[in-house]
Chains A and B, each alone.
Chain A
Amino acid sequence: MAATTFREAFRAGLREALAADERVFLMGEDVGRYGGCFAVSQGLLEEFGERRVRDTPLSESAFVGAGIGAALGGARPVVEIMTVNFSLLALDQILNNAATLRHMSGGQLAVPLVVRIPTGPGRQLAAQHSHTLEGLYAHIPGLRVLTPATLADARGMLAPALADPDPVLIFEQIALYGASGELPDDAGPVDITGAAVRRPGTDVTLVAYGGSLAPALAAAEQLAADGVSAEVVDLRVLRPLDEQAVLASVTRTHRLVVVDNAWRSGSPSAEIAARVAEHALYELDAPVERVCGVEVPLPYPHHLEEAALPGVADVVAAARRAVG
């Protein structure tokens, strides 16, 4: 075991991918000379050179599109978009090309592209730098959408994503980059198809992903102190969604709280609630609870940003309502 940060874990995955396969290259804004906006790719330019670690101009649509084309052409590009709000400038390429080329071509073409997108709130960066838009991408058939929220996933999701024959988006929580913990020395590739139970429990299921996993786990800890046993399910993969994992947990606990930093309407939390209503309604002993981002562009001041996001106390309160 070694102490590591999420930043280092993501970097270790990148370094390994670059070393393992000549076809892999990294490109994006300031990934090279600057060392990455969040220092994830620091040192990789020095180690692998300009051919493998490529600084791009500020042109999200062009370099994501070029990543799609390079993937069509046999390369294995890893494209970094600096943050999720900027990914919207490339949404056209992601939705109209990456996600559809296989289908439109009747299965002739494949886009084995990986796009890394830092995301999430919490640093008072206001309404153009803080949003949780993973759910927007989870709406799109043809993509795989990953939300690593543990060190093992940060380290191990890139390799299987690169091995995937289809486009994969990896959403990295900006607020977690500096967080540290222990990672086994032999940590390597992980599954990218299913959810994971992060904490077993019997009384209530807390479903979370990405930036909402930490408050869900903290809430479970508090609930345990009061004798409520919460099971925490980390979705890990927003598309294709591992519905069975959620249904199985709800079948054990009979109560569901979904925790989601995204805006409530049309969010992944809505999808989870709908799936449970479709397939496990009669397992429920209480209405589904959702703890979501308040429907407002994120404001700058600390107190308002905090109030706009799911907090541990909100999750605990929702779980208590569910347990009754």
Chain B
Amino acid sequence: MTAGPDGKDALELHVAMTRIRRFEERCVELYSAGDIRGFMHLCIGEEAVAVGVTAALTPDDAVVSTYREHGHALARGIPMAALLAEMFGRATGCSGGRGGSMHLFDAARRFYGGNAIVAGGIPLAVGLALADSYAARPQVTACLFGDGAFAEGELHESLNLAALWGLPMVFCCENNRYAMGTALARSHAQTDLALRAASYGVRSWSVDGMDARAVRDAARLAVDTARAGGGPCFLELRTYRFRAHSMYDADRYRERAEIEGWRDHDPLGVLVAQLDPDDVAAAEADVADEIDRAVEAARAAPYEPVADLTRHVLAER
């Protein structure tokens, strides 16, 4: 048994990250087999961000994410079977099959997608926080986005607005150093992202995004600050994607050595050394089982009938 409160804590974070890692590894197989289609973006290597940020939230808080959101969705508690059914395009998927990998939604868990326009979700997060602040609800909105979003006006407009109105939200930038094939320094004159966010009067921190505990602790501080009326906070979570941008990307723009170097900081490896190997093995077995069941359920799930094509355009009356 992994002992002590620290050990238990490490085990929980490790198990949560293992679920994401193994799930996505299976997704690669399912994509190759043609079960999953369209664009699919993996967060393998970035699991500590998903697990650390969501661990700091209450069920009443809101999450806004990007197309690279499998990890965020799993960590937020959307059942794996509902995610996989979505990626299979089945009616039982978390978005009814309409969205696919890039558009995972779960209103009950306040998971507002799944946005595939870079920076497109950020103003929505500002609005969710505005609604909470307007209704004096003690809720926080966590908005996850990539380093690429820093080039878009929507992020800067949102930082300003959220700071101006003191809104309860946390801007969580997953800085994996690349926007598709473009390295950070090739598209940003100032690569210190926390400095840029701070220039709007937003409290900002840079965090080791490969360390789930560091992410979780920083996220708690930021979320607590925002909840207590301290206004929006910004976290730069320094991370790395081990896989290509998407299943279509030949990944020709990075050195192999760079990828291998980051693998030494694998978020799963960071914690595993502190855990009892039996606990780790048991967790792996549970996760494998959960994935098998999710795949079976997704395969057996029905497609929506074509007759329903024009549903969900406007409210049904």
Contacts and interface: CB of A to CB of B under 8 A. Distances in A.
Contacts of A60: 152
A174 to B, nearest CB: 11
Interface in A178-205: none
Given A58-B149, A304-B309, A307-B306, A126 B99 contact: yes
Interface stretch (A30-38, A206-214, A316-324): A30-38
A296 B182 CA distance: 34
B115 interface: yes
A59 B151 contact: yes
A165 interface: no
Contacts of A125: 38-39, 102
Interface string B164-193: 000000000000000111100011100000
Nearest to A35: B252
A55 to B, nearest CB: 6
B186 A124 contact: no
Contacts of B98: 126-127, 299-301, 304
A295 B310 contact: yes
Contacts of B181: 30, 33-35
Contacts of B306: 303-304, 307
B103 A29 contact: no
B72 to A, nearest CB: 17
A300 B312 CA distance: 13
Given A58-B151, A86-B117, A123-B38, A34 B187 contact: no
Interface residues of A, number: 36
A129 interface: yes
A87 to B, nearest CB: 11
Nearest to B36: A124
Interface in A284-324: 294-297, 299-304, 307-308
Contacts of A57: 151, 179, 182, 187-188
Contacts of A301: 89-90, 97-98, 100, 303-304
A58 to B, nearest CB: 4
A62 interface: yes
Interface string A112-138: 000000000001111111000000000
B5 interface: no
Nearest to A82: B180
Given A55-B186, A61-B153, A127 B103 contact: yes
A200 B118 CA distance: 45
Interface string B99-123: 1101100000000000111111000
Contact of B116 (A35, A61, A128, A299): A128
B84 to A, nearest CB: 14
A54 to B, nearest CB: 11
A85 interface: yes
A58 B187 contact: yes
A307 B309 contact: yes
B313 interface: yes
B115 A128 contact: yes
B301 to A, nearest CB: 11
Given A124-B100, A303-B303, A129 B39 contact: yes
Given A58-B148, A59-B153, A125-B38, A300 B182 contact: no
A30 B180 CA distance: 7
Given A33-B181, A126-B103, A300-B98, 17 more contacts: A30-B182, A33-B186, A33-B253, A35-B181, A37-B180, A58-B118, A59-B152, A59-B153, A85-B117, A126-B99, A126-B116, A128-B103, A295-B313, A299-B309, A301-B90, A303-B306, A304-B306
Q: Closest 8 A-B residue pairs measured CB to CB? A: A34-B181, A301-B89, A57-B151, A300-B100, A57-B187, A124-B38, A58-B151, A128-B116
23 contacts: A30-B181, A35-B181, A37-B180, A58-B149, A58-B187, A61-B153, A86-B117, A89-B152, A123-B38, A125-B39, A126-B38, A126-B98, A127-B98, A128-B116, A295-B310, A295-B313, A300-B38, A300-B99, A300-B100, A301-B90, A301-B97, A304-B89, A307-B306
